[in-house]
Amino acid sequence: MQDYQEKRNYPRMHIECPASFHVIGGEGGGAIVKSLSGGGLLMWIDHQIMPEAKLMLEVKPINDITPPMKAEVRVVRCSPVEGGEGSFAVACQIQRVLG
């Protein structure tokens, strides 16, 4: 029997989707979104980014059926990916989805 109780407000979908981002007022780059929910996401990038940074993010689905998602997000945490060869896991809270 599992004692674990999900405490998230929205279910998490595990995906593997390319994205691009830029820090508002700063640098940018590419990312791979690993999971997505109604309130946040987890992505892997190739450099460290500071918590509380605000990003403009565009998730680009692989198929043409799903449109891209553009959003403003806030970095909650950033930590090295174990065995990820220089990758960082960045957890973000979605602040607003853009048209």
Q: Does residue 36 sit in helix, strand or coil?
A: strand
Three-state DSSP state, 8: coil
**Counting Cβ atoms within 10 Å, is residue 43 exposed (0-12), middle (13-18) or buried (19+)?**
buried
pLDDT tens-digit readout, 53-92: 999 999 998 888 888 999 999 999 999 998 877 899 999 9
Of 22, 26, 44, 38, the residue nearest 91 (C-alpha): 44
pTM (whole model) above 0.75? yes
